[in-house]
């Protein structure tokens, strides 16, 4: 049924149109009539007609102005103008408003019927097309999750699936496939550890659709299905920003997602893989994101709840990706635990893995040797600059005479490797802390922020805040205050400088705030200190 509103200030004209419609159409519902432009606007808002038959010359708001206002609200309404004014300007403006037909009074019944049928056919075609589009969209909505699952399967499986991944990107309409992987994990925490994965997965499953909406509201991405207690997200990013800026943007995105998603489920952890320009590198980004999650799961409690996000570039060890079955186990059970720095745990994992290899009927002693060589080369790929020349070790492995001898050789060298890595990592930590402290010393007079120092040492601000506190025992704000107050104590000894002068010279803009911090750090007011030592 088509809904029609008739607008004309002449009653006889309205009656004529009503008569012709009722005589020739049984599928039209005349929902109302109006005698002014103002009334027509109000009724169109309330009655939602499909067609408005409109006169132009009416008292108050004329037909053209009424059509403009109606069109602003209802883009789909069809207008048929019936008027006594054969003005070219009126006709031109009517065409601009999308009027279907401009008829002159007195309109002939045959012409009116022909016009109305044409408009109704257009409405019918439009409704049919809309229905088809909705059906296609509904089918597409059913297919998209299948395609997304297929993409994630190709991403997570071993082997070179680059062509499959690119085909999926093409199906989704993403011409540029550059981006990175974000792994989101739900945990039930005790002391900030990720625990009870099955229970967390059940809770996450209930809210999965809500999580998808949140994630997609922030970025262009493919969201995989929830697997146990994880959601893998491939974020498309075609920006050409520098590494630090790109990393900072990805961490901000993760924080935005976590802030909203944690309202549904509070214990959320997010690992972020490295950015790449080719879909070929997506698997590496995926492994890096999972690696970042493993580091988070091993982390200690963070009172500020900031250490629930980790970008792989904020990890201090280089990470590579290898593929075969035992290589994957070595990656998962040995390499990934190096960041924890617990030699006992790593040696236990190595012993269990080595025992499984030796018990494998498909592997003889030579095959086990080859795997051990692969493991040492894996260490070399990741930490070669730390380990130096390890070819003597490879020679020892090749010349091992039985399984126990091979185990003792590898166990001893793993211990040496871990000590070297720990020592190197501590040097890197010290270097970062020194660089951060030097930046504070050089810029304490300025309005420097946590973000400024984090950028200087190439860490995200979220990670740097926690890292600095953990390594130095003091947070960034207190460190900056201490440096400024130490400088202020020296300056206050100068009798030519006032407290206000000193305040500005050490980077504070407000003397009252300076005095408050000074007393907090030294136990003295600035004036007392100056009187005693100035």
Q: Which long-range contacts (CB under 8 A, 24 or more apart) does 260-267 make?
A: 260/214, 261/184, 261/211, 261/214, 261/215, 264/207, 264/210, 264/211, 265/186, 265/200, 265/203, 265/204, 265/207, 267/186, 267/187, 267/188, 267/189, 267/194, 267/200
Number of other CB atoms surrounding residue 281 within 10 Å: 21
Residue 509: CATH number of its domain: 1.10.10.60
Residues 13 and 87 both lie in one domain? yes
Helix (H, G, I), strand (E, B) or coil at 180: strand
Determine the pLDDT at residue 198. Answer: 45
Give the pLDDT confidence of 436-450 residue by residue, as tens digits: 999 999 999 988 999
- The sign of the CA dihedral 190, 195, 196, 200 is positive
The reply to whether 436 falls in a domain is: no
Determine the pLDDT at residue 174. Answer: 75
Residues 310 and 181 both lie in one domain? yes
Residues 60 and 198 both lie in one domain? no
Determine the pLDDT at residue 3. Answer: 92
Residue 196: CATH number of its domain: 3.30.70.1230
pLDDT for 466 beyond 80 = yes
**Element containing residue 293 per DSSP (H, E):** helix 282-297
Residues 285 and 180 both lie in one domain? yes
pLDDT band at 90 (very low <50, low <70, confident <90, very high): low
Residues 273 and 162 both lie in one domain? yes
Tell me the average pLDDT of the chain.
81
Beta pairing, strands 101-104 & 78-83: parallel
Determine the pLDDT at residue 195. Answer: 47
Residue 91: CATH number of its domain: 3.40.50.2300
Give the pLDDT confidence of 365-421 residue by residue, as tens digits: 888 888 888 888 777 777 766 666 667 777 888 888 888 889 898 888 888 888 887
Contact 161, 207 (CB under 8 A): no
Q: Which of 62-66, 321-325, 429-433, 475-479 has the lowest mean pLDDT?
A: 321-325
Helix (H, G, I), strand (E, B) or coil at 58: coil
Buried b (16+ CB within 10 A) or exposed e, 26-56: eebebbbbbbbbbbbbebbeeeebbbbbbbb
Q: How many domains does the chain have?
A: 3
Give the pLDDT confidence of 251-267 residue by residue, as tens digits: 999 999 988 887 777 77
Chosen domain end from 286, 315, 344 = 315
The reply to whether 435 falls in a domain is: no
pLDDT for 217 beyond 60 = yes
Chosen domain end from 277, 293, 315 = 315
- Residue with the larger pLDDT of the pair 82 and 280: 82
Range of the domain at 491: 478-533
Range with the largest mean pLDDT of 55-64, 146-155, 438-447? 438-447
Report the C-alpha gap between 11 and 25 in whole angstroms. 21
Contact 481, 489 (CB under 8 A): no
Contact 484, 422 (CB under 8 A): no
Residues 164 and 284 both lie in one domain? yes
Determine the pLDDT at residue 307. Answer: 66
Token pair in block for residue 102: 């401009």
Contact 311, 183 (CB under 8 A): no
Number of other CB atoms surrounding residue 400 within 10 Å: 18
Report the C-alpha gap between 147 and 177 in whole angstroms. 16
Contacts of 272 (CB under 8 A, 6+ apart): 180, 181, 182, 183, 250, 251, 254, 288, 289, 292, 309, 310, 311, 312
The phi-psi region of residue 342 (left if phi > 0; otherwise alpha if psi is between -120 and 50; otherwise beta) is: beta
Give the pLDDT confidence of 482-526 residue by residue, as tens digits: 999 999 999 998 888 899 999 999 999 888 999 999 999 999 898
DSSP 454-498: HHHTT--HHHHHHHHHHHHSS-HHHHHHHHHHHHHHHHHT-TTS-
Chosen domain end from 292, 315, 338 = 315
- The sign of the CA dihedral 234, 239, 242, 246 is negative
pLDDT band at 193 (very low <50, low <70, confident <90, very high): very low
- C-alpha distances (whole Å) from 468 to each of 475, 486, 499 are 6, 20, 31
Report the C-alpha gap between 31 and 272 in whole angstroms. 58
């Amino acid at each position: 049924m088509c809904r029609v509103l008739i607008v004309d200030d002449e009653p006889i004209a309205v009656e004529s149109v009503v008569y012709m419609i009722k005589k020739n159409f049984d599928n039209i519902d005349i929902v109302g009539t109006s005698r002014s432009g103002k009334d027509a606007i109000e009724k169109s808002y309330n009655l939602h007609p499909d067609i408005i038959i409109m006169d132009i010359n009416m008292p108050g708001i004329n037909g053209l102005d009424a059509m403009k206002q109606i069109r602003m609200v209802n883009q789909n309404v069809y207008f048929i103008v019936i008027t006594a004014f054969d003005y070219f300007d009126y006709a031109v403006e009517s065409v601009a408003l999308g009027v279907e037909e401009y008829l002159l009074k007195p309109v002939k019944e045959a012409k009116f019927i022909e016009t109305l049928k044409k408009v109704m056919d257009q409405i019918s075609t439009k409704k049919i097309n809309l229905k088809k589009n909705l059906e296609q969209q509904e089918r597409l909505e059913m297919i998209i999750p299948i395609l997304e699952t297929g993409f994630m399967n190709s991403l997570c499986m071993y082997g070179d699936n680059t062509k499959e991944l690119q085909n999926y990107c093409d199906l989704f309409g993403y011409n540029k496939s550059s981006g990175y992987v974000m792994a989101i994990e739900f945990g039930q925490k005790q002391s900030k550890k990720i625990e009870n994965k099955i229970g967390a997965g059940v809770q996450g499953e209930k809210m999965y659709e809500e999580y998808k909406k949140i994630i997609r509201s922030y970025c262009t991405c493919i969201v995989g299905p929830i697997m146990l207690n994880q959601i893998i997200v491939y974020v498309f990013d075609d920006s050409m920003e520098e590494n630090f800026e790109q990393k900072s943007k990805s961490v901000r995105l993760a924080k935005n997602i976590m802030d909203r998603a944690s309202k549904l489920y509070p214990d959320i952890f997010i690992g972020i893989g490295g950015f790449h320009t080719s879909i070929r590198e997506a698997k590496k980004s995926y492994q890096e994101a999972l690696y970042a999650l493993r580091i988070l799961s091993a982390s200690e409690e963070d009172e500020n709840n900031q250490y629930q996000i980790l970008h792989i570039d904020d990890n201090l060890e280089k990470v590579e990706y290898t593929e075969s079955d035992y290589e994957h186990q070595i990656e998962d059970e040995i390499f990934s635990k190096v960041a924890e720095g617990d030699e006992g745990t790593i040696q236990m994992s190595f012993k269990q893995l080595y025992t499984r290899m030796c018990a494998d009927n498909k592997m003889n002693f030579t095959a086990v040797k080859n795997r051990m060589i692969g493991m040492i080369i894996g260490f070399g790929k990741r930490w070669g600059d730390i380990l130096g020349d390890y070819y003597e070790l490879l020679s020892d492995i090749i010349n091992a005479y039985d399984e126990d001898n091979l185990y003792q050789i590898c166990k001893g060298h793993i211990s040496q490797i871990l000590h070297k890595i720990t020592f190197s990592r501590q040097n890197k930590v010290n270097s970062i802390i020194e660089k951060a402290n030097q930046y504070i010393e050089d810029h304490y007079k300025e309005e420097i922020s946590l973000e400024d120092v984090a950028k200087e040492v190439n860490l995200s601000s979220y990670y740097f805040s926690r890292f600095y506190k953990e390594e130095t025992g003091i947070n960034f704000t207190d460190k900056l205050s201490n440096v400024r107050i130490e400088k202020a104590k020296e300056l206050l000894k100068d009798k030519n400088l006032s407290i206000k002068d000193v305040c500005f010279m050490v980077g504070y803009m407000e003397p009252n705030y300076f005095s408050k911090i000074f007393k907090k750090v030294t136990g003295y007011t600035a004036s007392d200190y100056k009187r005693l030592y100035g």
